[in-house]
Structure 1
């Protein structure tokens, strides 16, 4: 089924004066205007296009890649504000509309805003909303502690920076865990540092994530998890003891626990290392 606001792989049905007519398996058709028609094609070929509504509210296809698709979040520039709302540049001929009621703060021409794109059920039009939190839900999490996640920087708070996690959940990177300049709209990799009892997510940025610093850290974390959060190994332990329990050298072990300690995922005690509990 042809979907507005998404990429669709459609069949070239016929060549006409205004462009190519494309169709899906259910018999729906859409025009690909001449400006987007490839130099070489054959009737029956498949082509990937983005489908949205033109200025006359008719479905139209394009081979241009918009800055945002339905269900996604992106930082967009406001081109103009009218009595109806704001119009945003999303890389296509027709601008993306953001009604006043969907603006977290009143938009101004020339400003940049993080928005979510969705299909309005009442008007059946693609619209934008800068009230991004309402499209996120932490009631049923799809991530766990130590999972690697995709992040979009959302908005600052007094204690850190809010981030969108896997386009589904809201998370927070605390100030003490931010080691480089990040801005609203940045797309980053991260690690789930902690899942709180109220399902709030504490996030680490990937450049300090244990998987990117030291691959042996994951082995140690699993061993800690399997042994009630404690193992009797430390930087003074005998190399043979480390090799017997973890199948790694003492040098690799010290490097891994150093990375985990830096990320505050473990504590190093006189008789071993302990996992920091939620």
Structure 2
């Protein structure tokens, strides 16, 4: 079985996979200071709860956008599983796709893994929208070449900045406003409308501009924690895949196993 580890700016996701099927997954807040021993105590107990034998793990792959966290994940793999982990994007196989941009090396590992999974599952030109700490938009052509993208502040980050900068504004949950009106009658409603519908407008507007520049039909794939919430309020997504990153890691692990 495969242990896939996706180290994001906000959370680290661990998933046990059989082939591309996710058997179990867990997440913990990203903290570069967390030691391999701390990860092990947490992870091995959770695996036991799911009746997953640590000895059944025979491959580990890691994707990270937090370089400082990699060392302790590497120690975890070697000390507690006896496995040298695969670092996604490194080695002779790399990512397995071309990047037609100015600085290919600057492409984040999470975005690269999403590209691998999306191109494997869908034909034609693609736009991937990933709702993470940042919301990213990535364009892939029909041949699987990365053509560029957009990085926008994530909705949680935007809301946090708003609340932090304005002393009188309260903290609110990110959810669809109760009212259908865009004229809020109190502070909380006005914030909810601005954050939620403002973000829907941002997504729709940027995707429309990307499609116009691509100049060919492009399928839009959404992933990330808030993808399902926004999918309920816009028709812009052709598919929603919350597990896109983990699937991409499983595909890269398959390729590494095949040599």
Shorter-chain TM-score range: under 0.3
Which of the pair is proportionally richer in helix? 2
TM-score, with structure 2 as normaliser: 0.27
More relative contact order in 1 or in 2 (CA 8 Å, sep 6+)?
A: 2
Q: Tell me the TM-score normalised to structure 1 length.
A: 0.25
Write 1 or 2 for the structure with the bigger share of strand: 1
Work out which of the two has the higher radius of gyration on C-alpha atoms and give 1 or 2: 1
